[in-house]
Structure formats: C-alpha cells, structure tokens
Amino acid sequence: MTRTPVTVTVTGAAGQIGYALLFRIASGHLLGADVPVRLRLLEIPQAVKAAEGTAMELDDCAFPLLSGTDIFDDAAKAFEGTNVALLVGARPRTKGMERGDLLEANGGIFKPQGEAINAGAADDIKVLVVGNPANTNALIAKSHAPDVPSDRFTAMTRLDHNRALAQLSKKTGVSVDDIKKLTIWGNHSATQYPDVFHAEIAGKNAAETVNDQNWLENDFIPTVAKRGAAIIEARGASSAASAASAAIDHVHTWVNGTADGDWTSMAVVSDGSYGVPEGLISSFPVTTKGGKWEIVQGLDVNDFSRTRIDATVNELSEERAAVQKLGLI
C-alpha cells in the first residue's frame, strides 16, 4: 500500500456504537476501498481494557487497509495528527430522559476534546460529533478550538435523514435510492424537522406524491423525530448499529461528495441562512464537494416548514444559552 494512511480518532471506542463503527472504518467504508487508515482510540481509563479487546479483534480481521490501532486515555495524545475525528464517547440517555438532560453530563467531555483537537490535530481535520446532545456538544468543541476553521465541526443528523428515507420508502413503495433532496432541519432531538417539501420521489415532488398532510404531520414527522426514543424503548439501549452506519455515511459523503441532483443533511455551523442564528450548529440541506460542504441556498420555506424550523432552532438557541451559563462555551 503506497498511500499514507489517514489518521482516524474515535472516542468512546469501547462503547456500543464504537463496536459497530470500528470494523467498518477499518474495512474501507468510511473513506474508500483504497484508503488506508490508522486508528487512534480514546476511552476513559476504566474502559481501556475493553478497547484493547476490540483492537485485538481488529487485528484478527487482517484488514489490508488498517495500518495500526493505538489506544489512549488522554485526549491530547489521541488527537495528535488526526485527520478525521469521530466524537462518539458520551453517556447515552436511558428510558424517560430527553437528550437535553445530557447537556451538563456530556458537555464537560467536549471542552477538553476541542482543546486537544486545536492543539494537535492535522490541518485538514474534520470532526463529526455523534455523542448527544450532538449539536451543542459540537458547538462546545468548536468554541475550544479557535485555530480550527469552524466549518470543520459538524454534528450528526444523518441517522435522522436515513430514518426519514426509510419511512418515505415504506409509505410509497419506492426504493430509498429513488428518494432525493430530503432535509432534516435543526437539532438532533424530538424538535427536529424532517422536510419533504423539496424532496423528490422517483423524480416527482414528494409532498405531492404522498398527498397526505395528516400522515405527514401525525405519522411521518413524529415517527422520525421520536425514533431514538422508540429504539430505546424497544431495545432497552440506544441505537448503535444504525448510528454507526449513519456516521460512516456522514463522513463518506463529506469526503467523497454528494451525487449530482441530490443533497444530504448535516448539522453545520450556521452562517445565518434560513434565519438560523449565526454560530449555531444546526442541520441544513447540504451539498459536499472536494471535502467541503455548502448549505443549499434559495429554497422556498412554506409556513408549515417555517414554524417547525423556528421551533427546533429555538431549542438550539436555548441549549447554547444553557451551556453558556454552565461556562462550557
């Protein structure tokens, strides 16, 4: 293998999502089937042994693309030379909790990690925050990495995007491949807004194809927005394999680009587009090319969508105010 390996740091490597994620990174699904990777795993000291077990299994897969795995319990070391950081490590919510309940518990993790990324990551660092509350954790990490361009900090709403694709596909009988231009707006929380008004199903407008406002309001939107809680209720633990798969999709699309005539959903730093206050990490319709993302501009936002976008964005503003009060940003 002649290419220099890409250094990928994964936090929470011994957790559920970590276990579903690492093998796919090492087998080439994150960056491409011809891109070698070097893994750096960050865990808390009590979980280092479990991470070592996972690293042994990674060895045992004999992945040709995996050039090595190192394990750390120190963020400063884990992010040295990192090109892609997947910030997964955080406490997941359990039955009855909202993701916002995790603000204080998990906020403290993302400040030192932001500082470590600022100090040691590679110049082309790309960060995906998965640990909840993902948008605001990304905001915290970003605000402690002043030397890193803020467009490098993103949070995951690709799982919500994929959930919305699956629900629309079930409703219409059309393959997920034939559904384009779906958007998740706002927060990765129950206030998120899955928007089908610009989406296309087999080349036709999705809202018109579905033609069922009652289903949209009372079935589709709540099913997608509350899917995380439904999975917790059913499995007794939060989504893991689907979350790992969405993380792979998010980074793969960021690095390799969106298809012509389509876009994806990513929570990225707002430049004020669509009335989302500047600086919030909010989900938008995004195209990617050459490793850079751009918010899709010029979409008409109808009154139905406006109300829902405002509600989810207001929640993000409240979360920002709460972490400001806690001294986390």
Q: Which of 29, 38, 93, 250 binds ligand NAD (CB under 6 A)?
A: 93
For the chain, the maximum distance between any two Cα atoms, rounded to a whole number of angstroms, is 56
Binding flag, residue 194, ligand NAD (CB under 6 A): no
Residue reference for tokens 């989900």? 283
Q: Decide if residue 88 touches ligand NAD (CB under 6 A).
A: yes
In 10 A of CB 207, how many CB atoms?
A: 18
Exposed e or buried b per residue across 238-254, where buried means at least 16 C-beta atoms within 10 angstroms of its C-beta: bbbebbbbbbbbbbbbb
Binders of ligand LMR among residues 267 to 326 (CB under 6 A) are none
Amino acid residing at 21? L
CA distance 323 to 221: 28
Residues 6+ apart with CB under 8 A from 89: 11, 12, 13, 15, 18, 42, 43, 44, 109, 131
Closest separation between CB of residue 243 and ligand NAD, Å? 3
Binding flags for ligand NAD, 105-144, as an x/- string (CB under 6 A): ----x--------------------xxx-x----------
250 tagged catalytic: no
At 153, give phi and psi (nearest 5°): -100, 120
* # residues contacting ligand LMR (CB under 6 A): 11
Q: Which is nearer to ligand LMR, 76 or 229 (CB)?
A: 229
Tell me how many degrees the CA angle 52-73-254 measures, rounded to the nearest 5: 85
Sites for ligand NAD among residues 139-158 (CB under 6 A): 156
> Which is nearer to ligand NAD, 18 or 186 (by Cβ)?
18
Residue 260 makes CB contacts below 8 A (sequence gap 6+) with: none
Closest chain position to ligand NAD (CB): 15
Provide the mask over 34-73, with x wherever binding to ligand NAD is found by CB under 6 A and - wherever it is not.
--------xxx--x--------------------------
Among 6, 8, 9, 11, which residue interacts with ligand NAD (rule: CB under 6 A)? Answer: 11
Annotated binding site for NAD(+): 12-18, 106, 113, 130-132
Look at residue 82 and give its three-state secondary structure.
coil
Instruction: Say how far residue 224 (Cα) sits from the centre of its chain.
Output: 15
Which residues within the stretch 223-252 sit at the binding site for ligand LMR (CB under 6 A)?
228-229, 231, 238-239, 243
Helices (H) and strands (E) in the chain, counts: 12, 14
| Binds ligand NAD by CB under 6 A, chosen from 8, 10, 17, 199 | 17
Residues with catalytic function = 188
- Residues in contact with ligand LMR by CB under 6 A are 92-93, 99, 132, 159, 228-229, 231, 238-239, 243
